[in-house]
Amino acid sequence: MKTKIFLNLAVKDLKKSIAFFTQLGFSFNEKFTNEKGTCLEIGENINAMLLVEEFYQTFTKKQICDTATSSEVLISISIESREKVDQIMDKAINAGGTEYVETKDYGWMYQRTFLDIDGHHWEVFYMDENNIPNNPE
């Protein structure tokens, strides 16, 4: 098995989270799906395990982050075009997400940010690697 990344995120309502990410166009790995969690496929080797809070809590002695007041992680994913970034954002907002930070356009990078229905922070961006300045901001 190639190295893969599996982010683990606590969710309040698994069915609502699945519906949210389905509306954004993501798919799920059914091999890793049951009533306690699902495997959101972000990329070829990048996944997010969406785990109901009670199940998530079995993996840690720490309290689950209150995403309304604290940041646990910034999830950033690259998208193939500026237009696709806007499409993902529109879908996220229509599915119940919240636009969180103003759009950032650096010319060589275009970035938008939303919070999913559980308050997790997602940044979607397009980057033109051929035009990255020597000292990017």
Contact 112, 24 (CB under 8 A): no
Measured from the Cβ of residue 55, the count of other Cβ atoms closer than 10 Å reads: 17
* pLDDT band for position 2 (cuts 50, 70, 90): confident
Task: Check residue 85 and give its pLDDT.
Answer: 97
- SS3 for 82? helix
In the chain, at which residue ranges do the beta strands (DSSP E only) sit?
5-11, 27-34, 37-43, 46-52, 74-78, 98-105, 109-115, 121-127
**Domain boundary assignment for the chain:** 5-131
Least confidently predicted of 7-16, 64-73, 80-89: 64-73
* pLDDT band for position 137 (cuts 50, 70, 90): low
pLDDT higher for 133 or 41? 41
What tens digit of pLDDT does each residue of 55-80 get?
Answer: 999 999 999 999 999 998 999 999 99
Q: For the chain, first and last CA: distance in Å?
A: 36
What tens digit of pLDDT does each residue of 34-43 get?
Answer: 999 999 999 9
Angle between helices 82-94 and 14-23 (to 10 degrees): 140
Question: Domain 5-131 class?
Answer: alpha beta
* pLDDT band for position 134 (cuts 50, 70, 90): confident
* pLDDT band for position 135 (cuts 50, 70, 90): low
